[in-house]
Structure 1
Amino acid sequence: MKRIIQRIALVLLIVIIAFVAHILISTGFFRTVENKFEGTIVKKISIPGAEDITISQSNGFALISSTNREIYPPVKEEKGGLYLMDLENENFNLTHLTASFSQSFAPHGISMIKKNKDSVYKVMAINHTLNGHSIEVFTLQDKNLVHEKTLKHTSLVSPNDLVLIDENRFYITNDHKYTDGFGKILEEYLGLSISNVLYYDGKNYTEVANGIAYANGINYDPKRNLLFVASPRAFLVKVYSRNVDGSLEFIEDIPCSTGVDNIEIDVNGNLWIGAHPNLLRFGSYAKGKKETSPSEIIKITYRGKNDYNIEQVYTNDGTVMSGSTVATPFKDLIISGNVMDDHFLILKTKN
C-alpha cells in the first residue's frame, strides 16, 4: 500500500513539474531580452496606454487608441480617447478627436477605412466599460470625428481587435472563451486554443475561425486577399485566405517566438507587430505587480505558404518601453504603442 501511495505521489509530482515547465517555456520565461535597435528615438508622445495605432499612408496621419488604465484587464471605469497625429509635421501634433464624446469610452482595438476620394474615413473602436463590450462606429473627416452608432452582440464575449473590409463588414477577435473563474485560469495558463474570430456581414455575426490561443491582433491585406491573426499565447501568426462569403480558409501558422499582439501592414505587404517576449512578466506588469515588461517589434515578410522571413527590429528590457502592443510604419518612422506607459515612441530606422 505504501509503495502504491509513493508511486501515485511520484506521478503527481511529475505531472506538476511538467505543467509548470510547460507554462514557463511556452510563455518565454527563460528568454533573455537585450536592448537592441539600429535607429533612434525621434520623440516620446505623452498620452497613456496607446494600445493600438493605425496609419493613413495617403493622408499622412495616425489614429491612436488611448486608455488611461492602472491595471489590465480593468476593474473600474476608465477614461480614454481617440487621437489623430499629423505625421507630415515634425512636431507630431495630437488632436483629441473624442473630447466631446459623452459615453463611457475606453477604446481598445481600432480600424479605419477610407470611404471615398474626399478623405472621409469609417472608424471603428472596441470599447470596454463596466457595463460590457461594444463597438463604437464613427465617421472621420479632416479632424472631425462624428459618432454614428454603437454595436453590441452576445457573441462579443471578449473582443480585442477588429479590421474593416469595407464600410459595413469586418472581422473581430475574441481573445477569450471564458472571461472569469476557473475556465479563464486554465485558458490562460495552459494556453488553451479555444478563442475565435467572428465575421460581421452588415447584419449577422458568424464564427469563421476558432481553435486559437488568445486571438488578438487582426489585419487584412486586400491585395493578396489574406487575413492575419495574432495568437500571442501560442507565439503564432495565423494566415487565412478570405472567401467571397466572408468565410476563411486556413493556410498556415507562422512561429514567431514571441507574444505577438497587434498587426499592421506596410505599403509593401510586410507585417509589423508589437510583441511581448515574456508573457508571464507582461501578466505581472499588467496587474501592477511589476514595474516593467519587455518589448519587441518584429517584421514579417510573407511571400506565400512556407515562404517568409522574420526580422527582429527592436527589443527592450522594459526600461524605455514596457508592454509593446503595436508597431506602425510610416516612411522611415515606426510609431510604437503599448498597454500602460504614459507615453508612446516614435522611432526612426537607419536608411
Structure 2
Amino acid sequence: MKKIALFVLILIVGLIAFIFHTFSSTGYFRDIEPKHDFGEIFQTINLPGVEDMALARKDSFLILSVDDRAKRRAGEEGLHGLYWLDLRQTPFETKAIPLPTNLTLFPHGISLFEIGPNQYQLAVINHVEGKHSIELFTIQDSEVLYDRTLRDPLLISPNDLVLVGKDKFYYSNDHGNTSKLGVFAENYLGVAAANVGYFDGENFRIVAEDLAYPNGLVPDQSGEKLFVASSRGFLIRAYDIQRNGDLTRSEDISVDTGVDNLEIDDSGTIWTGAHPDLMTFSAYAAGKKEFAPSEILKISYNEGQSKIESVWLDDGKTLSATSVAIPFGDYLFLGNVMDSKFLVLKK
C-alpha cells in the first residue's frame, strides 16, 4: 500500500513539474506591459492573416503572404494568395496578384531574391489539403509570373524559407514528427526534433537538425552566416554556411520570446516579430482566446555578445500574434498570423 501511495505521489509531483515547466518555458508567466517605442501607428490596412512579407528594397515594393486563417478555422472561405504593396506612395495600398487558374495557393513563408535589373525570383511555401510544396515565381518589371512547383518528402512541415541564390534556398520544417504524439512532444515538452533543409537547385537535403520549432531564416550581409529562429526554444541559432550549402552550428542567441520570421536591414540589424506567450498564442490560434500578445525585437549581432532590444510590445489588443517586422525608411510594417489587419508604424 505504501509503495502504491509513493508511486502516486511521484506521479503527481512529476505531472505538476511538467505543467510548470511547459507554462514557464513558453512565456505564460511573463508580464506583458504594452510598450510602443518605435513610433506611432501610421496606417491600419484591413487585410487578414498577413503572416509574412518580402521586401524589394531597391525597387520599393513588398510582397504579402495572405491567408485568412481565422475564417478557415471556422470552416468559411477567406482571402488567400499574394498581394503587392507599392512603397513609393502613401497612404499605402495593396492589390491582389493574379495567379494561374490551376494554382491553388495558401501561402506561408515567402522570400525574394534579385536576379537582374527589375527582376526577382519569388519563392512561396504552399499548404493545400495537408500537402506541402514550394511555388516559384519570376517578377519582371512589376509583373508576377508563375514558374513551377517543387515537391519533396523532405518538405515535412515547411514554415519559412529564404532564397540565397536563383533556385537555391534554405527552409525550416517546424516539426520533425508527423504523428500526434511526436507533435505533442515537440510542442509541449520542447523536444528539439525539427530541422532545416536546403535546395541546391536540383535536390533537397537536411542540413541542420535538433531544433525546437524552427521558423524564420535570414543570412547575414556577407552570406557567410545563417540565422534560424527557434520559436519553441526562445532563441536564434547562428550557423556558418559552408561552400556546398551545409551548415555548421556557431552559437545560440537567447531572446526570451517566441521568435517568428526574421528580416535584416541595410545596417545588418535583424528584426523579428515574436510571440512572448506561446500558450496564449496557441489558445488564440485555436479560437479559444480573443487576443495573443505581440513583440518586435531588433538584434545587433556580435558573436558572443549580441545586443537585443524589444522595441514594441503589446497585449494583443492593438495587434495580435505578430509574425514579421520589416523596416523601410521611417516605416515599420508589422504582419501577423491571423489578425484581421496589419499595421504600419512610423517614427
TM-score by length of 2: 0.96
Q: What is the identity, as a one-letter code, of the residue corresponding to 1:260?
A: V
CA distance in 2, matches of 1:93, 1:76: 26
Aligned mate of 2:307, from 298, 304, 309:
309
Q: What is the identity, as a one-letter code, of the residue corresponding to 1:50?
A: V
| Corresponding residue for residue 36 of structure 2 | 37
Q: Does 1:187 align with 2:181?
A: no
Count of residues in correspondence between the two structures: 346
Offset of residue 43 of structure 1: 0.2
Cα deviation per residue 1:233-290 (whole Å; 9 max; x = unaligned)? 0100000110100001111000001000000000011100000000000000001111
| Corresponding residue for residue 135 of structure 2 | 136
Q: Does 1:339 align with 2:337?
A: yes
Where 2:191 maps in the other structure, the secondary structure is coil
| Corresponding residue for residue 153 of structure 1 | 152
| Corresponding residue for residue 48 of structure 1 | 48
Where 1:233 maps in the other structure, the secondary structure is coil
Offset of residue 27 of structure 1: 0.5
| Corresponding residue for residue 86 of structure 1 | 86
CA distance in 2, matches of 1:329, 1:74: 33
Cα deviation per residue 1:160-215 (whole Å; 9 max; x = unaligned)? 00011111111011001123422211211101100000011111111110000001
Offset of residue 141 of structure 1: 1.9
Q: After superposition, where does 1:255-270 map in structure 2 within 5 Å?
A: 255-270=254-269
Change (3 A) 1:246 1:72: farther
Whether the 8 Å contact between 2:42 and 2:346 is mirrored in structure 1 is yes
Change (3 A) 1:300 1:147: same
Change (3 A) 1:294 1:71: farther
CA distance in 1, matches of 2:208, 2:74: 27
Unaligned runs of at least 5 residues, structure 1: none
| Corresponding residue for residue 322 of structure 1 | 320
Whether the 8 Å contact between 2:52 and 2:108 is mirrored in structure 1 is yes
CA distance in 1, matches of 2:333, 2:252: 26
Q: After superposition, where does 1:253-292 map in structure 2 within 5 Å?
A: 253-292=252-291
Offset of residue 98 of structure 1: 3.1
Q: After superposition, where does 1:200-215 map in structure 2 within 5 Å?
A: 200-215=199-214
Whether the 8 Å contact between 1:78 and 1:129 is mirrored in structure 2 is no
Q: What is the identity, as a one-letter code, of the residue corresponding to 2:156?
A: V
Moved more, 125-134 or 266-275: 125-134
Q: What is the identity, as a one-letter code, of the residue corresponding to 1:112?
A: L
Whether the 8 Å contact between 1:79 and 1:105 is mirrored in structure 2 is no
Q: What is the identity, as a one-letter code, of the residue corresponding to 1:127?
A: N
Change (3 A) 1:88 1:121: same
TM-score by length of 1: 0.95
Q: What is the identity, as a one-letter code, of the residue corresponding to 1:54?
A: A
Cα deviation per residue 1:58-114 (whole Å; 9 max; x = unaligned)? 111111101111278898886511111111211212121135554211000000101
Whether the 8 Å contact between 1:173 and 1:196 is mirrored in structure 2 is yes
Offset of residue 231 of structure 1: 0.4
Q: What is the identity, as a one-letter code, of the residue corresponding to 1:331?
A: G
Change (3 A) 1:99 1:27: same
Where 2:177 maps in the other structure, the secondary structure is coil
Change (3 A) 1:273 1:230: same
Q: After superposition, where does 1:92-103 map in structure 2 within 5 Å?
A: 92-98=92-98, 101-103=101-103
CA distance in 1, matches of 2:65, 2:183: 26
Whether the 8 Å contact between 1:334 and 1:348 is mirrored in structure 2 is yes
Cα deviation per residue 1:136-157 (whole Å; 9 max; x = unaligned)? 1001123311100000001101
Q: What is the identity, as a one-letter code, of the residue corresponding to 1:283?
A: S
CA distance in 2, matches of 1:72, 1:115: 35
Q: After superposition, where does 1:10-21 map in structure 2 within 5 Å?
A: 10-21=9-20
CA distance in 2, matches of 1:290, 1:328: 27
Where 2:215 maps in the other structure, the secondary structure is coil
Unaligned runs of at least 5 residues, structure 2: none
Change (3 A) 1:128 1:57: same
CA distance in 1, matches of 2:251, 2:197: 19
| Corresponding residue for residue 236 of structure 2 | 237
Whether the 8 Å contact between 1:110 and 1:125 is mirrored in structure 2 is yes
Moved more, 85-94 or 242-251: 85-94
CA distance in 2, matches of 1:86, 1:94: 7
Where 1:307 maps in the other structure, the secondary structure is coil
Q: What is the identity, as a one-letter code, of the residue corresponding to 2:308?
A: I
Change (3 A) 1:307 1:63: same
Offset of residue 51 of structure 1: 0.1
Whether the 8 Å contact between 2:262 and 2:273 is mirrored in structure 1 is yes
Where 2:310 maps in the other structure, the secondary structure is strand
- Over the matched positions of the two proteins, sequence identity in percent amounts to 42
